[in-house]
Amino acid sequence: MPQPVKRFRVRPSGPLRGEARVPGDKSIGHRALIFASLAEGESRISGLSGGLDNLATADAFRAMGIDIQLHGNAARVSGKGLRGLSAPKRPLDCGNSGTTMRLLSGILVAQRFPSRLIGDASLTKRPMDRVIQPLRMRGAHLDGSAGAKKGVLYPPLYIHGLKPGESLRELVYETPVASAQVKSALLLSGLYADGLTQVIEPGPSRDHTERMLTALGVSVERDGLRVTLDPSKGKLRWRGFDLQVPGDPSSAAFAVVGAAMVPGSEVTVRGVCVNETRTGFLDVVKAMGLQLDIDEEEGTNASGERVAALTTRNGPARATEIEDEALIVRLIDEIPVLAALAAVAEGKTRIRGAAELRVKESDRIAVMVQTLRAFGVECEEHPDGMDIVGGRPLRAATVESHHDHRIAMTAALLGMIAEGETIVNDTDCVGTSFPSFVPLFRQLGADIVEEVV
C-alpha cells in the first residue's frame, strides 16, 4: 500500500496580522546539542526547533552514550567531556541534515573508534568532498561514496578512527567557498588536534560555532576572514550550561515575506536571532522598499547571539539585484522565499552568484523557476541564479515540494496571494525545520490547511 503523504491546501487570505514566535534556530540548536554533549556535566537547552534535523543530532549523540532527555522543545543533556564518547553500535543516521553530517564528521575523525554516517535520499545526493579533503589533510581517515558525479564523494561517510599513537595535525586551510559547515567541522576537529586550526574563507559565513565556543570560554581568534583555534591558548573544556535558543531567522523570513506580500498585513516576530551573518534577507526586504522595523531591545543571549523583534508591514515592493558575493552567503537559504517576494515586486529582480543552490535539498534554482512559472510568473533560469519579472497577478497552481521544505513553504506563500486554490504536494519535509508552519500562519490569518492524502 502507498504511504500516506501530506499536502498544503492554500487559498487567498485576508491580511496577516499579529505576533508570532518561530521555532528555535536549528543551526544554533545543532551546536547547543553538540557542545552540551561534549561538556562536563548537565546542560539545559530550551527553544529547540522541534524539527527532525535537531533530533538527528540528538539521536547521534545518544547512540554514542550521551544521555539526552527531550521534552517538547527542551533538552537535558548529561555531557561526558571531549573524550567521553563511546563507539556507536549502528550507523549514525543524519536524516536530511547536512549540518549534522558535516559537523559530526569533524568530531568523529578524532575518535579511536570507527563510525558510519548515513542520511536520507536527499542528503545522499549532496557532495561531501569539501569537508572530507581538509580533514584528510590533518591526518583523518575517512571515505565517502561514489555518486552522481564521477570523482565526487557523497554519503554515506565511513570514518575509520585514529590508530594507536596517532593524533590530528595542525591545519591551515583556505576554503574554496565560504561555508560555515566546513569551517565548523574543522574547528570541532581542532578541539582534539595537536597544534592550531586556522581557516581562511573567501567571504563571511555563519559564525555560530565561534560565538558559542567563545561563550564557553574557549579561545577563538577572529581576524577578518581568518579564524584560529589554538589549543595552547586557554582551556579546551567547559562545564554544562543553560541556553535559550533564539528564533530561527530562516523561519522568520517566511513570516516577514508573507507580511510583505499579503495586502494589508502587519506581523511582528519576536525573539529572532539577528546575527549579521544570517540577516542578508532583511537587507533585501529593505532594499525593495518595504517597511521593516528591527527592535534589538531583547539584547544578547548566552550563546553570544543578538536577539530582536522584527515587524513588517505590507506595501509596494520594487525589484532589486541580489548578486553581491558577501550578501549571497548571508541569505543563501532565503533566496527561494525572496524569489516569491520578487514575484510581487514591480520590475525585474536579478539573482546571481547563487550556484550553491543547485546542491541543496533540491536544485533550488531549477525548482524555483519551475514553481514560479506554475503561478504565472515570468522568469528565466541562469546557471547561478534567475531573473524574475514581478508585479503581475498570480494564478493558483498545483506544485510539488521536491522533498524540499523551503520550496514547500515558499509555494504556500505564493498561494496566499494567487487567484484560486493552490495545492502543494508532499509537504512532510516541512517538519525538518518548521513543524509549526501551518498553525503559525493560520494564527496570523492565512487560509491554509495541511491534509493527509
Active site residue ranges: 333
Which residues are 56's β-sheet partners? none
Which residues are 268's β-sheet partners? 19, 311
Q: Are strands 153-159 and 142-146 parallel, antiparallel or unpaired?
A: antiparallel
Q: Are strands 220-223 and 197-200 parallel, antiparallel or unpaired?
A: unpaired
Decide: 326 and 371 in contact? Cβ < 8 Å: no
What are the cell numbers at 232? 595552547
Q: In 50-179, where does DSSP find H-type helix?
A: 52-63, 98-108, 129-137
List for the chain the helix, strand, coil content (%; round to 5): 30, 30, 40
Strand arrangement of the beta sheet that strand 422-425 belongs to: 398-400, 422-425, 6-11, 447-452
Distances (CA, A) of 160 to 91, 144, 177, 181: 13, 11, 27, 21
Alpha carbon distance 71, 76 (integer Å):
8
Decide: 364 and 336 in contact? Cβ < 8 Å: yes
- Smallest CA-to-CA distance from 111 within 175, 191, 43 is with 191
Residue with cell 545543532: 30
Decide: 53 and 99 in contact? Cβ < 8 Å: yes
- Residues 6 or more apart whose Cβ sits within 8 Å of residue 111: 85, 87, 159, 161, 162
Alpha carbon distance 76, 70 (integer Å):
7
Alpha carbon distance 249, 282 (integer Å):
9
- Residues 6 or more apart whose Cβ sits within 8 Å of residue 99: 26, 27, 30, 53, 57, 181
Decide: 368 and 336 in contact? Cβ < 8 Å: yes
Alpha carbon distance 63, 93 (integer Å):
10
Residues written for the chain: 453
Q: Are strands 74-80 and 92-93 parallel, antiparallel or unpaired?
A: unpaired
